[in-house]
Amino acid sequence: MQTTSRRPVTGLSWADAHTTARDSAHPLPPEEVSPDAARGRILAAPVHACSPVPAFDAAAMDGYAVAGRGPWTVIGLILAGAESEIDAGNRRSGLRAGFAVEIATGAAVPGGAEAVVPYEDCRRDGVVVTGTRGPRKHIRRAGDDVAVGALIAEAGRVVTATVAAAAVQAGVEVVRVHRRPVVELLVTGDEVVMSGRPGHGQVRDSFTGIVQSVADRAGGAVGISRHLSDDAGHMRTALGAGRGDVLVVSGSSSAGAADHLHSLLDEMGAEWLVRGVACRPGHPQGLAVFPDGRWVVSLPGNPYAGLVAALTLLEPLLAALAGRPSRPLPTASVTGSAKLVPGGTRIAPVRFSGPVAELLPGGGSAGLAAAAGADALAVLPDHWTDGSPAQLLAVP
């Protein structure tokens, strides 16, 4: 079921705004870091093995490394990571036929060893071992898993903990990844308090945590989060002094007496790519770029509208700057009742019931409770009907 709002909206379509934020930015320049420091970042170049895996011939079982046919005379013991007890002469020439060394799983197999006979397949009497070599040699030869030069991960992949561990295992000391975009958040409004209980006429900052979460998820990082009063001079200074790749401004996005952002960006020569989006909530959001390449994302001051704008503009912009590959948004059948926007898009909270997303009540521009209880936000165009599919935005 759906009803239609009587108030049309103007501005760029939601789909075009989301696409503009995603496609207007290019990945930031790469840098070299250790594999562990690269976790969560995007590879700017493929990773190739510098060492074979295993790096040496290693025992795959506890038992005896043997040469030739048995019985074998035991001449030493080799533990993982330890020096062999074989005498110097035998180390130089390797195991000769008829000899064996006791060996632990993971220990380096001496030269000349043809197989490892597991303890359970042999019997030892003093220094003599008898047994039968089976069809499996129980030796992992150097490079069996990964040869030198083999591809570990291609460019464009996220460096997960497993990718980092595989790179380290293959002897890789540095990888090339795209630099994380740094976000500077300016929370505006005389009525906003950044901590503690707000007094009469005041509201608590609800943007910092959301922006930090969205930035982390998109591959960026919030460097600074600070409060600005409703003063044009203070904002002009903050905009000019910002050193982040992306300046996020919450509030000051409309045309009221305390809303200075648009006029200041015009005055400072910024180019507007998105200046209002035909959606509810979140209509007065925007995306601009300064002549020096710094980006500005304008979030409406109402918290739910600001969340919608962060998912519409900020997340795809940061993902592009971080080098993340573009992927289509997930979709699901959406059921329930929504007040559609003529000529625009309704962004509404939903909760999954099996494969179907059910619309939740609420979702006005100010409150976050409905979004907090949601699994996602559904993107509902004005032609949506009950049960038809819609794109979904993940709630941070």
Could you report the per-residue pLDDT of 33-50, keeping only the tens digit for each?
999 999 999 999 999 999
pLDDT at 243: 86
Phi-psi category of residue 264: left, alpha or beta, with phi > 0 → left and psi -120 to 50 → alpha: alpha
pLDDT at 90: 45
pLDDT at 242: 82
Contact residues for 375 (Cβ-Cβ < 8 A; gap 6+)? 350, 351, 352, 357, 395
Terminal CA-CA length for the chain: 27
Q: Nearest 5 degrees, angle CA 207-CA 211-CA 213? A: 120
pLDDT at 23: 96
Given a cut of 80, is residue 389 above it in pLDDT?
yes
Given a cut of 70, is residue 370 above it in pLDDT?
yes
User: 149-194: per-residue pLDDT in tens?
Assistant: 999 999 999 999 999 999 999 999 999 999 999 999 998 877 777 7
pLDDT at 191: 78
Average pLDDT over residues 79-105: 74
The Cα 74–Cα 86 span in angstroms is 10
- Whether the ω angle into residue 54 lies within 30 degrees of 0, i.e. cis, is yes
**C-alpha distance from residue 327 to each of 22, 155, 316 (Å):** 10, 16, 10
203 forms bridges with which residues in the sheet? 192
Question: What single letter denotes the amino acid at residue 60?
Answer: A
pLDDT at 4: 57
pLDDT at 96: 93
User: 198-230: per-residue pLDDT in tens?
Assistant: 788 777 878 889 999 999 999 999 988 888 887
Token code pair at residue 117: 């006979």
| HSE (side-chain half, CA atoms, 13 Å) at 306 | 28
Contact residues for 147 (Cβ-Cβ < 8 A; gap 6+)? 49, 52
pLDDT at 311: 98
Average pLDDT over residues 54-64: 94
Token code pair at residue 170: 């293959």
Token code pair at residue 253: 């996005």
pLDDT at 89: 38
User: 250-284: per-residue pLDDT in tens?
Assistant: 987 766 555 689 999 999 999 999 999 999 999 99
The Cα 302–Cα 306 span in angstroms is 6
Q: What percent of the chain has pLDDT over 90?
A: 75
pLDDT at 257: 52
Average pLDDT of every residue of the chain:
90
Q: What percent of the chain has pLDDT over 70?
A: 93
5-28 b/e with 16+ CB inside 10 Å = b? eeeebebbbbbebbebbbebbebb
Question: What single letter denotes the amino acid at residue 83?
Answer: E
pLDDT at 198: 78
User: 291-303: per-residue pLDDT in tens?
Assistant: 999 999 999 989 9
Given a cut of 90, is residue 60 above it in pLDDT?
yes
Given a cut of 80, is residue 82 above it in pLDDT?
no
Contact residues for 33 (Cβ-Cβ < 8 A; gap 6+)? 41, 174, 175, 177
Local confidence band at 382 (pLDDT 50, 70, 90 cut-offs): very high
**C-alpha distance from residue 69 to each of 77, 86, 87, 115, 130 (Å):** 19, 19, 21, 11, 10
Q: Which domains, and CATH codes, for the chain?
A: 2-28+179-321 (3.40.980.10), 31-52+144-178 (3.90.105.10), 58-140 (2.170.190.11), 331-394 (2.40.340)
Q: How far is CA 8 from the centre of its chain?
A: 37
Q: Tokens 């994302």 map to which residue?
A: 297
